[in-house]
A = this chain, B = another copy of it.
Amino acid sequence: MKNDNSYKFSREFEKADKKFQVGELLIHGNEVVIAAGPCSVESEGQMLETAKGVINAGASILRGGAFKPRTSPYSFQGLGVEGLEILEKVGKKFNVPIVTEIMNTELIDLYSEKVDIIQVGARNAQNFDMLKRLGMQKRPVLLKNGLGTTVDEWLMSSEYILSNGNDNVILCYRGARGIENATRFSMDIGAVVVAKKISRLPIAVDPSHAAGKKEFVKDFALAAIAAGADMLEIEVHNNPEKALSDKEQQLSIEEFGELMDDARVVAKAIGRKIR
């Protein structure tokens, strides 16, 4: 099925890596692109401080959640539009693209206006109606795998976007359900390797959600780069202990800097670079 040139995500459809620009940044080139920032946008001060820290350490994209998909309705749900506007403002200030998750099809126009890369999270990875609509707008889409989706299903989700006219899609592996409880999710490196072989799309990895604990994040990130990831998305908070969500898995700016130092040498070893 996968080796079928009728699927636009596949290398049978087009052998070459699909590359595209986000502003001045090239996605899927030789550079392993790093997106970093907090789980949730909490305030302008938090975003300014975090952005300064992560960009200084080498991140090229700023992440931050405005609308948050939380398992419980009673957990902090994000600042919503206000969070989006803070993120936009801070991204502009530092002149870096921003990536943030969309949870609601009705907000696509707003996201298309304000957001450089629109993220589809694990919970909406098979929200086909949303994917179709995202295919009809022009912003690049970062598409995570679902908690229980296979690589085939994940690629097919990307096809909903591509077949509707938008082929600027980044596949982002964020771990999946497995048999292990010591980590938050199973980080099956095979998913990354297989997706890269089959698909011409860039592959990102989110080590933070897979690990679920900050002490594992760096090793997950290094493994992802070695396995061929074209981009990483990492949760970093200027003050992790005070974070309103995902406290345990967000790195401090200092820890992120250490990760970047190691990531740079691994990337170099396999012939790639990190800025």
Contacts and interface: CB of A to CB of B under 8 A. Distances in A.
Interface of A: 6, 67, 69-74, 103-106, 122-124, 126-129, 132, 146-153, 156, 159-160, 163-164, 175-183, 186-194, 196-197, 210-211, 215-216, 219-220, 222-228, 262, 265-266, 268-270
B220 A181 contact: no
A182 B127 contact: no
A159 B72 contact: yes
B222 A226 contact: yes
A76 to B, nearest CB: 13
A156 B123 CA distance: 13
Given A69-B128, A127-B127, A186-B190, A222 B179 contact: no
Contacts of A175: 190
Q: What is the oligomeric copy number?
A: 4
27 contacts: A73-B163, A74-B163, A103-B127, A104-B105, A123-B126, A123-B128, A127-B127, A148-B148, A150-B180, A152-B182, A175-B190, A176-B178, A176-B180, A178-B186, A180-B188, A180-B194, A183-B188, A183-B190, A189-B189, A190-B211, A193-B211, A193-B219, A193-B223, A222-B227, A223-B224, A223-B226, A226-B226
A148 B147 contact: yes
B187 A216 contact: no
A192 B226 CA distance: 15
Contact of A129 (B104, B193, B219): B104
A132 B159 CA distance: 28
Contact of A223 (B74, B103, B128, B227): B227
Contacts of A226: 219, 222-223, 225-227, 266
- Name the residue in A6, A105, A227 with the highest tally of chain B Cβ atoms < 10 Å from its Cβ: A227
